[in-house]
Structure 1
Amino acid sequence: MTRLHSLLFVLLVTLSVKAQDVAQRYPLIPYPTSLVPASGQFTVTAQTALVVQDSRFSNEAKQLQTLLESGMGKRLSGMGKGPKIVLQHDASLTNSEGYDLTITPQQVTLKASQPVGMFRAVQTIRQLLPVTIEKPGQALVSLTLPAVQIRDQPAYAWRGMHLDVSRHFYSIDYLQKFIDRLALYKFNKFHLHLTDDQGWRLEIKAYPKLTSEGAWRTFNNQDSVVLKRAVTNPDFDLPKQFIRQKNGQTQYGGFYTQAQMRDLIAYAAARHIEIIPEIDMPGHLTAAIKAYPFLSCTGQEGWGKTFSVPICPCNEPTYTFMETVLSEIIALFPSPYVHIGADEVEKSTWAQSATCQELMKRENIKNVEELQSYFVHRIEKFVQSKGKKLMVWDDALEGGLKPSTAVMYWRSWVKGAPQKAAQNGNDVVMTPVSNLYFDSPPGIRSVENVYNIAVVPEGVTAEQTKQFLGAQANIWTEYIPTENRVDYMAMPRMTALSEVVWTAKKDFPSYQKRLLQHFLRMEQLGIHYRLPDLTGFAEENVFVDKATLRIKKPLDSYILRYTTDGTQPQVNSLELPADLTISKPQTVNVAVFTPSGIRGDVYSLRYQQQAYATPVGGASSVAGLSCLYFKKYFKETKLMKQQKADSSYVINNVVVPKSVNAPSFGVQFRGYMTVPETGVYSFFYTCDDGGILRIADRMVVDNDGNHFPIEKSGQVALQKGAHPFEADFIEGGGGFTLKLKYSLNGSEPMDIPDSWFTH
């Protein structure tokens, strides 16, 4: 074959591979920096040689060997002249986590300059192998890997997940599983929130009462909430192994010994994951103050106007205590960071303390915010003396921070905080509550919202972008008592974040296709993930004569089941037909099930019969909607009716006017909506906090109350023409979300054109 013919052949092969669905052939999350498809596949058998050309990769070679042995039930040889898997050192790869992976039908070659890069390459191999490798006892005679050329490295250095083990306690075994999942998706930071008001979770040898007393509690108000939810959902039941009887009391809790934590740190390090400890201070320390009352200014724990009573920054024994605790923490954790929280501090006891007044006068401290900074600076000086770097939540910016302190930005309603931190010289990790608090209820847009976060916000200079280390999602566990519930809240949102912080050029449609195959892998791993959302319907449905319910399964292996008697669908409920005809008012409960019996969310679809609403005559033709603005806090939208508006606007669509800047407010949109054709219209109303939508004097969507971003949907039957339109929205503080879309005849939800609105 001539050289020209060879080139043409390669080109044709490449085009043939590209014509296939690349996302399906290479279902990698996060997606690599560069991926060039190739034809053919490499077959792994027991005769395949595993060749390690550099001893620095011996740990990663063992992990690859274990992975392949799990898939085939046999170890690979290290010998042989046949097909090989080769681990090579390549000093030209300058990023420590970078790697090259070449798979041909003859050989698999993994290249890296550092063990961490080789480990990332092994995880890519893992994701390219059949999902059956994840479950012991399903050994295959051979395994296949698709031919490909990958060059890869992370976009950001901080790729993190956080878990709060204080509100509820989780076993070391589960923390290891959590670390395994971080490794699979190329995370490198595990932020462990070890202490809070509800429990102290790590042994401190100098202060044994922190765990003998501080690690246990009688049931609190949050426990009561989850126990009520457990009646219908066992994922909310308090784990029995963490409940004990002592002194005639039922106590709930637990803690990790330093030996257990040392083993966990080593387990994470073998997977190139750094555990960052957080010992929250000066607030969120009720558990410690109960055990050692001298820590507070009043000599007792309690609750202030907003948060718990903090420790006292004006007494020297406080610093002796904290420095002793931190000395043990620093000796235990290799991470260069020590996180002290410094958020949500109730400072009223400080303001009332004579000792604090004396200290503030002596140190020329003007207010209690600066007093908090005084505390943070002293702790930072101690932490730095031990060779570590201090990290705090962005609340601590209020009284001033030194540039040496690293900041986690979470208060998404404080829009300028990341820019302020960067201007001050602080390194920043993005963890905004609006998208990256995985304790917030997941919904139909939650994965997409995670995928679309900006790791570097607008308004920073090119030089300051270097200070944005990356991003992290946080799982606060007030209402997450079980490991299954952690799984549900984290997955699949965690996979979206993994791509945000690793892959420079994101592609959400491609990610969605790849994610479907990861659900199958999660099943093999025993992850109780949140199943994909069902779409194509509204929660509140109407029909004129009859309606047809059609729901497409996210995966062919799933089964849709339904009930019409008010009960929840179970594994033995009727399977939903392709077309279910609705001809009378009723409620249809639908859920999707995996082959193993895991049930997804239950959707209650309520149907009512409606005549088409008659359009109004003489509707105004003035473009836009009238908008009334109330600069107040409301728990419900109806409370706006009792108030006088602070301002009024004319606005083109259902959006909050740009000039609105109050932390809490309400808005009312009024006017007419002119629809171009007769039909049953679906509306999808996303609100954070709450909203009400009425069209043609009919309630369409009730999404009222104070809550995280939630999309609710409803339908209304409308004749062609203009109809009265009312939309209310309230924001309780913490950053808002307001979106309204529509659908007709089962179309994808779309933005409502401005031209439809008049007033």
Structure 2
Amino acid sequence: MKKNISRKIALLGSLLMLADAGASFAQDISSRFPLVPYPQKLTVGQGLFVINNQTSIVTPASKKYQQEAGLLNELLHNKLAVRHNGKALPKNSIQFVEDNSITAEEGYHLQITSQHIIIGAKDGAGMIHAVETIRQLLPVGIENKQQALPSQLSLPALNIEDAPVYAWRGMHLDVSRHFFSIAYLKKFIDLLALYKFNKFHLHLTDDQGWRIEIKKYPKLTEEGAWRTFNNQDSVCMKKAADNPDFVIDPQHIIHKDGKTLYGGYYTQAQMKDVVAYAATRHIDIIPEIDMPGHMMAAINSYPFLTCNGENSWGKLFTKPICPCNESTYEFAQNVFDEIMDIFRSKYIHIGGDEVERSDWAKSEACKAFMQREGIKDLPALQSYFINRMEKYFNSKGRKLIGWDEVLEGGISHTALIMYWRTWVPKAPVEAAKNGNQVIMSPGNPLYFDNAPDHNSIDNVYHYNPVPKGLTQAEANGIIGAQANLWTEYVPTENRADYLYMPRMTALAENLWTRNHKYNSYLVRLRAQYARLNNLHVNYRLPDFDGLVEQSVFTNQAVLNLKKPLPNTTIHYTTNGNVPNKNSPELTAPLVISKSSYIRLAAFKPNGVAGDVYNLHYTQQNLAEPVKADVKAGLLCSYYPGEYKSSKLMASVQPKETFVVDSVVVPKAVTAPGFGLRYQGYLDVPQDGIYSFYLTCDDGGILKVAGRITVDNDGWHAPVEKSGQVALKKGLQPIELNFVEGGGGYTLKLKYSINGSQPMSVPADWLKH
């Protein structure tokens, strides 16, 4: 045991001395302490505080903060005595001290000396944040409750003064499309607390399932919580052939009346327990009951909710409940009465997004209602519903949150707006100017169900929640941000873990510190993985550096990879099969001298694989340049309309053609859906293997020298794909076809040569 203690003390000592070790981050003190998010101010002291069996936890005599003290003791496996006396500070103690001199909300002061630890805050939230800071300073082994703690633990002497930049630091989880256990919700809450989030947005109802017991309407869960497998499940089942994280979770499958059903729900008692669990960690759970759209699961059992008794899909979305019948409001108020009894939060999310209003226009009852109430159009009719529900919420002491569509027909300035539609950038600006508080949650980069790539963490870390066009006073209305995890294609808890972790750590630091010491953050993030292992989080492994999906070579190529983390192994196949732990291990550079297809993945010690990388190696000759009289810029042809593949533009005439000096969408492109074709030449300055990196939302195909270089086609969220082409110096033909389906576009093109860092294509290369 003494050897273990010495080793831990030596390790902590080495952390304190990293600056003298010649590391690249030596000048940055933040890199010496693996805290995420990093504190606003940290200064290093002398020595160590040793926690042993004689250490006590001291709270005020009033027993205030005993809950927070209990959580600290729980982290230490309940080994310490907790005293409620508030007397003068004894040695070898951890004391919770109320400090009203701290003015920042959720702020705290943490002082660690060789004699004691003092945690100062003016409220329990600040105390919890200090506890979580201590947690991250302790060895990761404390997370393993089955493993005995050593008799002594050491913490470095330091002083921290800390508080968050943003008041709203949230994460969202959709339990309607796919369902998650109570145990998983608590695991999720623990991670939110660890990284100092304070809001948990729980999406409880949607077309695919109603997940919360409402006693006045029992069929909502008796029937609405269960479904036969749908088209989203079938996509997951197909993907499960290569990835076990897509297997439909059997714990949520039942067999009833000869049918196989998927689903589940939370009883009110269960959810009250979860709410209480979150409250002890100062996490506010915000329930979302989506209305008036996304209500198919409820309408199936209670068809009186619609204007015509029908329940089906419209052009894009399901038909909504009817805002012209009093029975609708009676139902909604009854539901929310029970929701408010379960959830303590002062915020209730009503959704209000993606409403198919066409049936309202056909309803005679709605026509009469609109005339009687002076409602001019269908967006205003939806606003009538939202505003009436807000008044009801307010009468119960609650505040309404709606997705940014609720702005369309007019909204009171007291409602909170949650912005998600990246293709409507004016929405948060208008809301803030209207006096609404705004929570930023744009699909790019904060929809964590979008497949991650090697840019994802960087994009989240550097995302600025404050949009352009606001005065400082108006910008104060941007109260924070949250990331959303929609689960249409997330059937397991493992898949959910993979999608939000580690991206949520980047968001945590963005919203808490915003110090933008990105290299330091990456170092500290690597230190977090061992803790996540102990917490059984199926995080996404760091990306390999320098991989290109479509690689070319003239004579030979060398595949030489570093392990993404020290305790991982890399396995690969050359026969097209998915690699597993029994596949050949890549332990040395692999020389490739013929066209090959290599699939590889990194594996954690528990045998779980990271992403599978599909690498195509093609032998090419250097493409000969062409001769042509050229002008500056590329030609960009504009094709308004919806094209699900860029190949579909081939038989269509463009509306307009522009000359552009970079690969960006011209400002004159205004259609919600469109295609673009960029044509011309690249005037490349030297012979070499050129790599191109194409990021698209929705899709695109890049050809260089007549060769398909990057295929990133089809409708999808922003994702980068890469490819190479062998080129000689001179003019090389280029063609880029890009399509946007109507939900906000992203288009970026970068290049590198002979393995250099990716950079934007220079304007003077572009010719036509």
Question: Which bracket does the TM-score occupy, shorter chain normalised?
Answer: over 0.9
Name 1:720's counterpart in structure 2.
Answer: 729
Query: Offset at 1:204?
Result: 0.8
Name 1:100's counterpart in structure 2.
Answer: 109
Name 1:8's counterpart in structure 2.
Answer: none
CA–CA separation in structure 2 for the residues paired with 1:64 and 1:153:
19
SS, match of residue 390 in structure 1 = strand
SS, match of residue 635 in structure 2 = strand
* Structure 1 residues 302 and 105: alpha-carbon distance in aligned structure 2, compared to 1, 3 A threshold: same
Name 1:42's counterpart in structure 2.
Answer: 49
| Partners of 2:594 and 2:619 within 8 A in 1 | yes
Per-residue displacement from partner, 1:238-295 (whole Å, max 9, x unpaired)?
2222211222211111111111111111000000001111111111111111111111
Query: Offset at 1:316?
Result: 1.1
CA–CA separation in structure 2 for the residues paired with 1:677 and 1:53:
73
Letter in 2 for 1:687: C
Letter in 2 for 1:99: Y
Letter in 2 for 1:636: S
CA–CA separation in structure 2 for the residues paired with 1:148 and 1:14:
16
Letter in 1 for 2:54: Q
Letter in 1 for 2:580: Q
Letter in 1 for 2:720: E
SS, match of residue 534 in structure 2 = helix
Name 1:607's counterpart in structure 2.
Answer: 617
CA–CA separation in structure 2 for the residues paired with 1:15 and 1:374:
61
Name 1:663's counterpart in structure 2.
Answer: 672
Query: Offset at 1:306?
Result: 1.3
2:123 is equivalent to residue 118 of structure 1: no
CA–CA separation in structure 2 for the residues paired with 1:738 and 1:104:
52
Name 2:502's counterpart in structure 1.
Answer: 492
User: Given the two structures, how large is their TM-score scaled by the length of structure 2?
Assistant: 0.94
CA–CA separation in structure 2 for the residues paired with 1:537 and 1:219:
37
CA–CA separation in structure 2 for the residues paired with 1:614 and 1:487:
48
Per-residue displacement from partner, 1:102-129 (whole Å, max 9, x unpaired)?
2233332221111110110000111111
Query: Offset at 1:24?
Result: 4.2
| Partners of 1:48 and 1:77 within 8 A in 2 | no
* Structure 1 residues 676 and 142: alpha-carbon distance in aligned structure 2, compared to 1, 3 A threshold: farther
| Partners of 1:684 and 1:714 within 8 A in 2 | yes
Query: Offset at 1:560?
Result: 1.4
Letter in 2 for 1:201: R
Name 2:32's counterpart in structure 1.
Answer: 25
CA–CA separation in structure 1 for the residues paired with 2:31 and 2:414:
45
Listed as ranges, the gaps of 5+ residues in structure 1 are: 1-11
Letter in 1 for 2:373: E
Per-residue displacement from partner, 1:408-427 (whole Å, max 9, x unpaired)?
01111011000111122211
Name 1:731's counterpart in structure 2.
Answer: 740
Name 1:686's counterpart in structure 2.
Answer: 695
Name 1:544's counterpart in structure 2.
Answer: 554
Name 1:379's counterpart in structure 2.
Answer: 389
Letter in 2 for 1:549: L
| Partners of 2:168 and 2:199 within 8 A in 1 | yes
Name 2:470's counterpart in structure 1.
Answer: 460
Per-residue displacement from partner, 1:10-68 (whole Å, max 9, x unpaired)?
xx999869947634421111111112234543332223333334631211111111212
SS, match of residue 654 in structure 2 = coil
| Partners of 1:549 and 1:581 within 8 A in 2 | yes
* Structure 1 residues 27 and 470: alpha-carbon distance in aligned structure 2, compared to 1, 3 A threshold: same
Which of the residues 291, 299, 306 maps onto 1:296? 306
Name 2:202's counterpart in structure 1.
Answer: 192
SS, match of residue 687 in structure 1 = strand
2:716 is equivalent to residue 699 of structure 1: no
CA–CA separation in structure 1 for the residues paired with 2:111 and 2:215:
50
User: Percent same amino acid among aligned pairs?
Assistant: 54
| Partners of 1:668 and 1:727 within 8 A in 2 | yes
Letter in 2 for 1:63: L
1:177-576 map, 5 Å: 177-576=187-586
Letter in 1 for 2:322: C
CA–CA separation in structure 2 for the residues paired with 1:274 and 1:451:
23
SS, match of residue 650 in structure 2 = helix
Which of the residues 38, 41, 65 maps onto 2:73? 65
SS, match of residue 724 in structure 1 = strand
Query: Offset at 1:580?
Result: 0.9
Per-residue displacement from partner, 1:492-539 (whole Å, max 9, x unpaired)?
111111111111322222211111111221111100111111121210
Letter in 1 for 2:165: A
Letter in 2 for 1:658: K
CA–CA separation in structure 1 for the residues paired with 2:686 and 2:151:
60
SS, match of residue 250 in structure 1 = strand
Query: Offset at 1:548?
Result: 0.6
SS, match of residue 399 in structure 1 = coil
| Partners of 2:30 and 2:38 within 8 A in 1 | no
CA–CA separation in structure 1 for the residues paired with 2:645 and 2:18:
59
| Partners of 1:14 and 1:37 within 8 A in 2 | no
Letter in 2 for 1:231: A
Between 649-658 and 686-695, the greater mean CA deviation after superposition: 649-658
Per-residue displacement from partner, 1:544-572 (whole Å, max 9, x unpaired)?
11111111222222211111121111112
CA–CA separation in structure 1 for the residues paired with 2:91 and 2:433:
58
Between 256-265 and 512-521, the greater mean CA deviation after superposition: 512-521
Per-residue displacement from partner, 1:275-321 (whole Å, max 9, x unpaired)?
11111111111111111111111113111111111111111111111
Letter in 1 for 2:725: V
CA–CA separation in structure 1 for the residues paired with 2:324 and 2:731:
66
Per-residue displacement from partner, 1:637-660 (whole Å, max 9, x unpaired)?
122222222222222221222333
| Partners of 1:99 and 1:112 within 8 A in 2 | yes
Name 1:709's counterpart in structure 2.
Answer: 718
| Partners of 2:548 and 2:724 within 8 A in 1 | yes
| Partners of 1:129 and 1:143 within 8 A in 2 | yes
Name 1:624's counterpart in structure 2.
Answer: 633
| Partners of 1:33 and 1:504 within 8 A in 2 | no
User: Given the two structures, how large is their TM-score scaled by the length of structure 1?
Assistant: 0.95
Which of the residues 142, 161, 165 maps onto 1:155? 165
SS, match of residue 276 in structure 2 = helix
Per-residue displacement from partner, 1:567-597 (whole Å, max 9, x unpaired)?
1111122221331100111111111111222
CA–CA separation in structure 1 for the residues paired with 2:26 and 2:221:
60
* Structure 1 residues 746 and 578: alpha-carbon distance in aligned structure 2, compared to 1, 3 A threshold: farther
CA–CA separation in structure 1 for the residues paired with 2:54 and 2:340:
47
CA–CA separation in structure 1 for the residues paired with 2:162 and 2:392:
39
CA–CA separation in structure 1 for the residues paired with 2:619 and 2:436:
59
Between 728-737 and 263-272, the greater mean CA deviation after superposition: 728-737
SS, match of residue 56 in structure 1 = coil
CA–CA separation in structure 2 for the residues paired with 1:160 and 1:13:
35
Listed as ranges, the gaps of 5+ residues in structure 2 are: 1-15
Name 2:655's counterpart in structure 1.
Answer: 646
CA–CA separation in structure 2 for the residues paired with 1:77 and 1:572:
51
Query: Offset at 1:179?
Result: 0.4
SS, match of residue 93 in structure 1 = coil
CA–CA separation in structure 2 for the residues paired with 1:352 and 1:450:
44
